[in-house]
Chains A and B, each alone.
Chain A
Amino acid sequence: MIKILLVEDMPDTVELVRRALSAHDYEVVHAPDAETGFQLALDERPRLILLDLGLPDYDGQTLAGWLRAEPSLTGIPIVAFTAWPQETARKMVESYGCNGYIQKPIQKVKDFVDQIDSFLKTG
């Protein structure tokens, strides 16, 4: 199974993502905050990190910076998961070295899973 690390503090969103991805043979590992997310990235070596930009300890941009500065995590796609306006999301993604973003809320599960597939293929 392909392992995805989801860093997200909202329980409802975690549940929705877990259900959507588990149904397509992904394994979802979950962290509710940035510090746990960084540790799980090191411990679990996921194939992709899906990162909420609003987290309760440090925000998602700060975590993206830590992840990008960690040599052992080089090459793992980081995808921001955010309700921010597209222009803001795009600027943050470019600045912090993320591979792209997926807009919240999830409107159609199939589209969401397709986006995850696409980021995994293009890295």
Chain B
Amino acid sequence: MTNEKIQLVPTSRFTIEQLTAIYNQTRVDYLVPMPMNSKRLADYIADYDVDLEHSLVAMQGDELLGVAMLGVRAGRAWITRLGVLPNIRRGGVGQALMNGLLENAAKLNRNFVMLEVIKNNVPAHQLFLKLGFREIGELLVLRRAPVVPPPDPVVADARRLERVEALRLAGRDRGTMPWTNQSETLINAQDVSGLQITLADDSQGWLIYQRQKFILTRFAYKTETGNPTTVAYAFLSHLHHQYPRLDTHLENIQVNDPHLPAFYEMGYVESFRRIEMWLGDPPPELHIKASI
């Protein structure tokens, strides 16, 4: 890196292939490697409402140094995919990208900004604290392998929910959930459906999910009445009995989620943890937190 000034350029001026390449180059040495191809990054941009006009690439001359993206939804913004080339880290590029994104969020009147950082990514965590972000809680990334035999489904009245009904249930009061799990993500996603469970003791709950070609993902769920662990075990038993050959990948489940014991009993394992951080306060319309 030279002394030439760092320029911040909107990501909308680059092709998806160029953005994929710079993103992957910034991640080559990450503790948890998350490389993407162009299709996967394009889906990510669409599903998570990434605003390419207000997301940034850091450049010096013709050289691409790093990238950071801004998701924009009603009353809130989200910082994601921040990365700097390994050989020029600790040179101010990450902070320049962050400052640029926060300025762009303010221009859009988004003063409540969310992000997640991988636990033990100390330099990034320190940078976010320095910029005024505060810790909200820990999030789990969970996996369940298709080699785990599906259990017999719990005896219950299980009713399939088609997309419209599933999205109606997922509701609108989920704006302070981690960004990846908010209702807008499910609305943007293809092949979303769900199932509603009523147990013999009248316990009741529902699960909304996305079924991709090889993967079940993007869960939203709620226990309406009864014990959350019992209800979750019931809906998971029906789901995995129905799709025994699909891998399951869940992002950003809150560590204090009362449904979690059922996930572990069903063969889910923890992949890694993130820390959720916020800057500013949620606007009043987002204050009602979903009880999942």
Contact = CB atoms under 8 A, between A and B. Distances in A.
Contacts of A61: 143, 145, 247
A69 B145 contact: no
B145 A95 contact: yes
Interface residues of A, number: 26
B37 interface: yes
B247 A65 contact: yes
Contacts of A91: 269-271
Contacts of A53: 33
Interface string B123-155: 000000000000000000001111110000000
Interface stretch (A41-49, A81-89, A109-117): A81-89
B35 A92 contact: no
Given A54-B32, A83-B31, A85-B31, A62 B247 contact: yes
A90 to B, nearest CB: 10
A64 B214 CA distance: 12
B245 A69 contact: yes
Contact of A84 (B32, B35, B267): B32
Interface string B7-44: 00000000000000000100010011111110110000
Contacts of A58: 214-215
B245 to A, nearest CB: 6
Nearest to A53: B33
Interface in A26-63: 33, 52-58, 61-62
Contact of B215 (A52, A56, A62): A62
Contacts of B147: 65, 68-69, 95-97
- Give the interface SS of chain B, mostly helix, strand, loop or mixed: loop
Contacts, number: 64
A92 B143 contact: yes
Given A54-B35, A95-B145, A10 B28 contact: yes
Interface residues of B, number: 27
Contacts of B28: 10
Contacts of B146: 65, 68-69
A51 to B, nearest CB: 13
Contacts of A92: 143, 269, 271
A66 B245 CA distance: 8
Contact of A56 (B40, B267, B270): B40
Contacts of B145: 61, 64-65, 95-97
Contacts of A9: 35
Contacts of B272: 84, 88
B119 to A, nearest CB: 11
B43 to A, nearest CB: 11
B273 to A, nearest CB: 10
Given A55-B35, A83-B33, 10 more contacts: A57-B37, A57-B39, A57-B40, A61-B143, A62-B214, A65-B145, A65-B147, A92-B269, A95-B147, A96-B147
6 contacts: A54-B32, A56-B37, A65-B145, A65-B146, A84-B31, A85-B31
List 3 A-B pairs, minimum CB-CB distance, nearest first.
Answer: A54-B33, A56-B37, A56-B35
